[in-house]
Amino acid sequence: MFRLQPTALVCVPLWCSLAVFSAAQASRKAPAERAVSLAQSGRCQEALPLLKKAELQAAAKDLKRSVSFAGVRCAMTLHQADAALEFLQVLTREFPKDPDALYVAIHAYSDLSTFTSQELARDAPSSYQAHELLAESFESQGKWEDAKKEYRAILKQNSMVPGLHFRLGRLLLSQPNPSPAVADEAKSEFEQELEIDPTNAGAEYVLGELARQHQQWDEAIAHFTRAAKLDPQFEEAFLGLGMSLIAEKHYADAISPLETAVRLEPQNPDAHYNLAMAYTRAGRKQDGEKEFAVHRRLTGNDAGASEKTGPPSQEEKK
C-alpha cells in the first residue's frame, strides 16, 4: 500500500500573485462592508468608527457611496455633527448630481440646523442670538409684528450689534404694501446700520433703491456707488447705478457700471436694455443695437425683428 506523504504546496508564481492580490482586495473590502452591515442593522455605536476608516479606504465608487450614506445616518443618529459633516462633504463632492445624495444632504443639513438651534435655546435662552433666531422664525412665517417686537427688544439691550438694524429695515419693507411712514422707518434703520457697520453693502443698496424710487438721483448714485465698491459682485448695485446715471442723462458714465452688470448677470434683460440705452444716447448706436437685440431675445420678442433697430417698443417691454 502506498501512502501519500504530506508535502509542501507548490505555487506557480502567476497564480500566487493573483491569490495574494485577491486576498488583499478582500481584506480591504471586508471592513467597509462589515461597517455598512453594522450600520444597516442599527448598531451605529459600533459602526461609526469603522465607517470613518472605511471611507478613507474604499476605492470602489459604489462602496464609498454606501459607506457615506451609512456614515451620515449613523452620525446623525448619534448626534455627532462633526462626523456627519465629514461624511456629507465626501458624499456631495463625490456624488454631486446623485438625487439620493442630494436628498440625504438636504435633510441632514436641516436636522443639523434644528439640533443647533435647540442647543442655543437650551444653553443660552436669554442671549440676543436666541431672540434673533426667534425673530427670524417669525419673519419666515409672515408674523411681521411678532418679528418686529423681537428685533426691537434685542436692539433695546444690544443696540450696537451688527446686522440687526439691517434685518429690521428689511422686515419693514417686506410687509405687504408698506406705507410711506414705514418706508421712512426702514430708511432710518438702514442708516443706523451703516453707522454701526459702514461695510454693509446691502444697506447701501436698499438706501439707493429708496432714493431712486423717489427720483432723488444724486443720493441714489452715491449709495449705489458705495454698494458697488463694497461688493464688486453686487450686480443689482451696478444696475441701479447705471439706471440712476441714465436718469441724470450721464449716459457715458452709465456705460461702465452697466457693462459690469451685464457681465455679472448675462441673462438679466433689464441690464441689457439699460446698457443699450446708454450706448445709444452716448452715440454708440451699433453697440446699442446689439444690446437691444439681446434684450429682445431674452424677453422673447425677437421674432421677425432681425431688421429692427433701436429701443424696444412699449408693447415689447411689457
Task: Give the dihedral of Cα atoms 268, 167, 196, 158; nearest 10 deg.
Answer: -170
pLDDT, the chain, mean: 85
Which CATH fold would you assign to the domain 29-123?
1.25.40
Output the pLDDT for position 285. Answer: 97
Residue 210 in this model has a pLDDT that exceeds 50? yes
| Averaged pLDDT, 226-240 | 98
In this structure, what C-alpha cell is assigned to residue 87?
A: 461624511
Compute the average pLDDT of residues 14-20.
Answer: 38
Helix 99-123 × helix 128-140 angle, to 10°: 130
Full DSSP string of 292-305: HHHHHHHTT--TT-
- Please provide the DSSP assignment of 185-237 as one string: HHHHHHHHHHHH-TT-HHHHHHHHHHHHHTT-HHHHHHHHHHHHHH-TT-HHH
Residue 4 has pLDDT above 50, yes or no: no
Model pLDDT, residue 175: 82
Distance from C-alpha of 222 to C-alpha of 314, rounded to nearest angstrom: 30
Where exactly are the structural domains of the chain?
Answer: 29-123, 125-196
Q: Is the pLDDT of residue 303 over 90?
A: no
Nearest to 217 by CA among 189, 194, 245: 245
Look at 34-38, 96-100, 257-261, 276-280 and tell me which has the smallest mean pLDDT. Answer: 34-38
Most confident listed range (50-59, 128-137, 295-304): 128-137
| pLDDT on residue 302 | 66
Look-up of cell digits 508535502: 7
> Could you tell me the fold of the domain covering 125-196?
1.25.40
pLDDT attached to residue 250:
97
Task: Quick: pLDDT tens for 66-119.
Answer: 888 999 999 999 989 899 999 999 888 999 999 999 999 999 999 988 888 888
Q: Is residue 47 scored above 70 in pLDDT?
A: yes
Q: Write down the pTM of the prediction.
A: 0.68
Report d(CA 135, CA 71) in Å as an integer: 34
Task: Examine domains 29-123 and 125-196 and report if their fold is the same.
Answer: yes
Q: What is the pLDDT of residue 118?
A: 84
